[in-house]
Structure 1
Amino acid sequence: MDTHRKPQRQRGHDRVAALLEAAASCFVEKGYEAATMTEVAARAGAAIGSLYQFFPTKETLARALLEQYAQDFYTQLGKLAEQSSTWTTEEWAAQLCPFLIGFRKRHPAFVTLVESSVTPAADAMIIRRRFRAELQALLAHRAPHRSQEETYAAAVVVQQMMKGAAAIQAEPGMPGKLAALAQLQRAMQGYLHGVFGD
């Protein structure tokens, strides 16, 4: 498996951050398969040798980006878990519906990479399953009266609603987009009222 060299000094960390940012832009604009290492280096204002020094292959570069995105994803989910103990059901829906929208806005290359050849179907499934497990833990904490099977099923439904919100937001030129998102949020509220029993 490809591994990339970890920078030892701040200057190296800054260079790697610039290379990753440039790679993300290239992957979004051209797709993973069409983007080249030469283009990434040029966009970062770096020598191609500097890029290869840290990332020997394009796959290594893409996987480093995915690792970075996954870390941010779970960090943000962790923050939701810390805050959720005081939320009303309406606040739960208001936080969960836009979660993936905000994540994809911060990391537009995420979907490109997950759907590319760099991420085998098994790896993509691991990401989805961990997301579902984190959601299940959130829901189980709020609804301790529900069985494990019930909270798992609820996590699947909530996950799909969150993905639906992200899909609505991502569709270009959709008329009534805000109204559709508001209706989806109301649907999640109603569903969560049933799950939480309040």
Structure 2
Amino acid sequence: MSSDPNATSKNARRTPQQQRGAQRMQTMLAAAAEVIAENGYDAATMTAIAARSASSIGALYQYFPNKDAIVRALRVLYGEEMESRWDGLIVVAEGLSVQELSDRIIDLMVDFSTQHPAYFAVLNASLNYRRDADARLRLRERFGRAFQQKQPALNDEQALRLANVALQVVKSLNPLLSQADAAERMQLVAEFKLVLSGYLNSRLA
């Protein structure tokens, strides 16, 4: 144990500073999401993001060296939140009918994109970035196990294939939603629910 009487107070002072730094970073990311949602990724500027977050441009660059770094951080945040939502759905999947599960899968994606208007722009930004392949596989394996609860005859390979197809259907909805107005979005959601429920009913019945 350190004999320095000031060691404890020094360590104690770091925590509020770290918390303030984390809060400042979150404020900047929230501001960046607003600017990107309004103007698109290409038109968004570091100057506009700094102004929206009530920060100096120098302070923004202390946290993020460029716009790509901001978008990567937003992708991480969105990925973590999305994974948490998927986990919550998988937990209750056993108590849902196939139709209910299909609808909830589509609704989850639509609700997320509605609550995060920058999501599509962030997702489609041209960056040298890939989400962790292991994380994607874990999600699909968990969905596969949820499908096996509905149809115990499925082996692991079949269940994983179903999960891959189902999530690819959901993923393919994203670019259509990003370009549609509110009325068209409702129609697209209804069509994709038909597609997904038809597929899962045919495999899990």
Aligned partners of 1:111, 1:12: CA distance in 2, in Å?
A: 27
2:152 counterpart letter in structure 1: P
**Partner deviation per Cα, 1:39-98 (whole Å, 9 max, x = no partner):** 110111111222122223322222111111111010001100111121111211120122
Q: Does 1:140 align with 2:167?
A: no
Is the contact made by 1:98 and 1:162 (CA closer than 8 Å) also made in structure 2? no
Shift of 1:185: 1.9
Question: 5 Å matches for 1:1-198?
Answer: 8-120=17-129, 122-123=130-131, 131-173=139-181, 178-197=186-205
- Does the 8 Å contact 2:90/2:143 carry over to 1? no
Using the size of structure 2 for normalisation, the TM-score is 0.76
**Matched letter for residue 117 of structure 1:** S
- The residue type paired with residue 106 of structure 1 is Q
RMSD of the TM alignment (CA)?
A: 3.0
Name which one, 1 or 2, has greater alpha-carbon Rg.
2
Q: 1:27 to 1:127 in 2, by over 3 A?
A: farther
2:120–2:175 contact (8 Å) kept in structure 1: no
Q: Identity of aligned pairs, percent? A: 28
Whether the 8 Å CA contact 1:99–1:162 is kept in 2: the answer is no
Q: How many angstroms does 1:126 deviate by? A: 7.2
**Correspondence for 2:12:** none
Within 2, Cα distance between the matches of 1:128 and 1:178? Answer: 28
Of the structure 1 ranges 58-67 and 157-166, higher mean CA displacement relative to structure 2 is found in 157-166
Aligned length: 191
